[in-house]
């Protein structure tokens, strides 16, 4: 489970995340929505210890990310698929991650097969298409077989088959009892994937409710979302 307790982040005079209190529970896909500049990526970065909160805290199963000696066994994440040395093969990139957390090499081959990259495993990652890069990033998120998975815009660059695949993957992880937290701008995809939604705007919580409850009374999630976020888009 991911717990946010009055999580706040300020950059000078700008408050990017403003006092978020949330529990992101296991066993369901939780979608994270909001306009550009709403604070979604900053929130995810604080959960993973990449940005330090101005105040409040983020906990993963009751502990900060930085307290885990082998964090890949506790949480897997994809924030930026291009964060890979272009001269390193996909397999060697994952192998380095695995060795840093005491994960056996056989697990590298398992996740490469799971994401459909076995045939490209020994190619330099700099030659990968955007979709292949996304699959490599997702493989990294799955490497430690973690109970918590955090994905920022995971369908970017994927073709329709890839989108269907990641949809099934996320739902399968949730069905196994894992915590799945995913941000996306594709509202139609969230409508068929997420069980629960968290919506923020200008760093503040707007909605934290089951998908059906948010969509109730609206023709679609898109209609509900634009009503919820009206006036919160940064210009």
* Average pLDDT across the chain, whole number: 93
Cβ(65)–Cβ(49) below 8 Å: yes
Close Cβ partners of 92 (under 8 Å, ≥ 6 residues apart) = none
Has residue 25 got a pLDDT over 90? yes
Show the domains of the chain with their CATH numbers: 1-61+147-235 (3.40.50.300), 83-146 (no CATH)
pLDDT, tens digit, 9 for 90 and up, residues 72-120 = 999 999 998 777 888 999 999 999 999 999 999 999 999 999 999 999 9
* Rounded Cα distance, 76 and 109, in Å: 17
Count the helix, strand and coil residues of the chain and give each as a percent rounded to the nearest 5.
40, 25, 35
Residue 235 binned pLDDT confidence (cut-offs 50, 70, 90): very low
* Rounded Cα distance, 68 and 53, in Å: 18
Query: CA 17 from chain center: how many Å?
Result: 17
For range 20-47, the mean pLDDT: 95
What pLDDT score was predicted for residue 233?
A: 63
Whole-model pTM: value is 0.92
Burial class (CB in 10 A: 0-12, 13-18, 19+), 161: exposed
For range 131-145, the mean pLDDT: 94
For range 55-69, the mean pLDDT: 95
């Amino acid at each position: 489970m991911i717990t946010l307790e009055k999580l706040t982040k300020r950059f000078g005079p700008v408050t990017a995340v403003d006092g978020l209190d949330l529990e992101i529970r296991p066993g369901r896909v939780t979608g994270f929505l909001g306009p550009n500049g709403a604070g979604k990526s900053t929130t995810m970065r604080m959960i993973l210890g990449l940005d330090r909160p101005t105040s409040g805290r983020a906990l993963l199963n009751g502990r900060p990310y930085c307290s885990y000696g082998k964090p890949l066994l506790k949480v897997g994440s994809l924030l930026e698929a291009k964060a890979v040395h272009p001269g390193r093969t996909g397999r060697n990139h994952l192998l380095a991650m695995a060795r840093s957390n005491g994960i056996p090499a056989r697990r590298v081959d398992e996740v490469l097969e799971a994401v459909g990259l076995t045939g490209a495993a020994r190619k330099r990652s700099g030659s990968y298409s955007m979709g292949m890069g996304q699959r490599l990033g997702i493989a990294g998120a799955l490497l430690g077989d973690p109970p918590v998975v955090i994905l920022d815009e995971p369908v970017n660059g994927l073709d329709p088959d890839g989108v269907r695949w990641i949809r099934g993957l996320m739902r399968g992880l949730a069905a196994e009892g894992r915590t799945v937290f995913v941000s996306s701008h594709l509202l139609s995809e969230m409508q068929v994937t997420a069980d629960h939604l968290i919506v923020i705007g200008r760093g503040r919580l707007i909605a934290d409710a089951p998908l059906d409850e948010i969509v109730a009374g609206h023709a679609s999630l898109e209609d509900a979302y634009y009503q919820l976020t009206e006036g919160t888009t940064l210009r």
